[in-house]
C-alpha cells in the first residue's frame, strides 16, 4: 500500500470516528440524559479527534533517500483535492443560501452557525479527498507499495 493510500485510510478513519462519536455523544446527552439541545451539542467536542489528521506527515514519514512520490501520485493528489474543494464550494453556497431563503433578508442567525460551517467544510474536504484518493489507487493493496 502506498503512502498516499495509507494517509487516505488514516484520514477516512479519523473523520468517520470523529463524526460517529460526536453524533453518538450528542444522542446520549440529548435523548438519554435529557439535556437541552444547546448543551447537548457539547457532544460534538469529539470533532477535535480530526486534529489527529495533522499528524500524518510525522506518522507516515518516509526515509529521505527513498522516492517520496512520483508523477502518478501527484496527479491523483491533485485530482482528489480539486474534487474535494469543488464539492466544498457547492456545499458552501448551499450553507450560505439556505438560511437566507428560510429566514428571509431581514432575519438574523446565531453567529455559532459560522464555526459549524467551518467544521462541516473541513469534514467534507477530508472525507472526499480520502475517498477519491482510495478510489483512484484502489481500496486495497495491489502490491505496488513504495
Partner 1 sequence: MTKKEEAWIGLFVGVPILVVPSVVAVFIAYDKGLSFALLLMFTGTVVWGGLLWLLPYIQRRFRKDKKVITFDERDQLIHKRAVMASYVALWLYFVAACVITWCLVGPNGSISVNVMPLTLVGGLVLFNCVQGLASLIQYGRGTKNGAK
Q: Which residues contact partner 1 by CB under 8 A?
A: 78, 81-82, 85-86, 88-90, 92-93, 95-97, 99-101, 103-105, 107-112, 114-115, 117-118, 121, 125
Q: How far apart are CA 135 and CA 29, in angstroms?
A: 36
Q: How far is the CB of 65 from partner 1 (least distance, A)?
A: 28
SS (H, E, C) 12-25: HHHHHHHHHHHHHH
Widest distance between CA atoms in the chain: 61
Q: How far is the CB of 128 from partner 1 (least distance, A)?
A: 12
Q: How far apart are CA 82 and CA 76, in angstroms?
A: 10
Q: Which is nearer to partner 1, 57 or 104 (CB)?
A: 104
CA–CA distances in Å: residue 72 to residues 48, 75, 102, 108, 141: 32, 5, 45, 48, 16
Q: Which is nearer to partner 1, 28 or 96 (CB)?
A: 96
Q: Which is nearer to partner 1, 35 or 91 (CB)?
A: 91
Q: How far is the CB of 2 from partner 1 (least distance, A)?
A: 21
Amino acid at each position: 500500500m502506498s503512502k498516499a493510500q495509507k494517509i487516505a485510510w488514516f484520514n477516512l478513519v479519523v473523520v468517520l470516528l470523529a463524526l460517529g462519536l460526536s453524533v453518538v455523544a450528542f444522542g446520549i446527552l440529548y435523548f438519554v440524559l435529557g439535556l437541552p439541545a444547546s448543551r447537548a451539542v457539547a457532544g460534538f467536542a469529539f470533532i477535535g479527534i480530526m486534529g489527529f489528521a495533522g499528524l500524518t506527515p510525522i506518522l507516515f514519514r518516509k526515509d529521505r533517500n527513498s522516492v517520496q512520490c512520483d508523477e502518478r501520485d501527484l496527479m491523483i493528489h491533485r485530482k482528489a483535492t480539486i474534487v474535494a474543494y469543488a464539492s466544498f464550494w457547492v456545499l458552501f453556497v448551499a450553507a450560505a443560501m439556505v438560511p437566507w431563503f428560510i429566514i428571509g433578508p431581514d432575519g438574523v442567525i446565531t453567529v455559532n452557525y459560522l464555526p459549524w460551517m467551518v467544521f462541516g467544510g473541513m469534514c467534507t474536504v477530508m472525507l472526499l479527498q480520502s475517498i477519491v484518493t482510495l478510489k483512484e489507487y484502489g481500496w486495497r493493496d495491489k502490491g505496488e507499495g513504495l
